[in-house]
Amino acid sequence: MLDILPVRSLSGRERLGKAHGAKISPQMHYAIKKGLKSMFSGSIPALVTPFRGGQFDEGAFRRLVDWQIEHGSSALVPCGTTGEASTLSNAEHHRVIEVCIEQAAGRVPIIAGCGSNDTRNALLHMNFSKKAGAAAGLCVAPYYNRPSQRGLIAHFSFLSENSDLPIVLYNVPSRTVTDIEDETVVELVRKYPERIVAIKDASGDLSRVADHRMGIGRDFCQLSGNDELWLPHSAAGGKGAISVTANVAPALCAEFHEAIAANELKRARELNDKLFPLHYAMFSDASPAPVKYALSRVHDWVEPTVRLPLVECSDEAKRQVDEALEIAGLI
């Protein structure tokens, strides 16, 4: 039997940050000093960006933030892939981050999506997020440009040297084409140990968890970017997941992580089986259309609207989502 070491999550009080004058606890000071390793673990939803009438639905987003925190999410990620960051204007992008930090009010850390295929624009997002009170920036490998590994090192080096915001690397080669190779991750973390504090790996390659850990030579926060691999990723040493499914099933995902952290593998497998159809249903059509539809089935204050070039999910995808929601006991 695999022995998964428990991962201690900070309590709500310990997570208090600077947002709106919230007092920082000694534990938070320690976590920041040690590179935020203790802050990022558990179920971390990559939040959708609700739209209404073609515009950012701030009211629905505030309700979503509260609902996520109340149901056990340990951190929040606005403006990632699931948040449709690529079709937000810079003004919208920054407003979504600002609202998320404001509404969370220090209850959980915010990992702000700061990725761009333009290095200078990524830095703009990072500097804004730092001033707004984000705990870290999620920085995806530049997409479309297809930089070499040397280009990736130059990109992340520039960000590390020109912003004080800690970086969570985001590797998702199925979307970006460019893969942040193991050797590149190791080189960057060794070069900037106080700045590059974690990685969200959505490569689907579980061997990378051990490769990163062994190459870096110390504990390093690794988060799964694939919901369906959350359990084996944790067994290999991962600390949790930045999740699509957690948008619609925050309590189940939080309970799932707690079972893993407590080494209750039988319970973890039971919850994994309950969540598994939902993991696949979230990608039954172009994401995030299925998860937005799922949220609209669970809450009447979320619309399933996505921005072009994405369209609402197909009838077949809706059928799969509905079936998965029933299996998970969510409808």
Q: Where in the sequence numbering do the catalytic residues fall?
A: 170, 200
Structure tokens at 211: 């490769």
d(CA 151, CA 210): 25
**What distance in Å separates the CA atoms of residue 110 and residue 104, rounded to the nearest whole number?**
8
Question: Which residues are CB-neighbours of 1 under 8 A, at least 6 positions away?
Answer: 265
Q: Kindly report whether the peptide bond that precedes residue 288 is cis, defined as omega within 30 degrees of 0.
A: yes
- Cβ atoms within 10 Å of 183's Cβ, excluding its own: 12
Q: Is 128 helix (H, G, I), strand (E, B) or coil?
A: helix
Q: Report the distance separating Cα 82 and Cα 75, nearest Å.
A: 15
Q: Which residues of 163-180 are buried (b: 16+ CB within 10 A; e: fewer)?
A: bebbbbbbbbbeebebbb
Q: How far is CA 255 from the centre of its chain?
A: 17
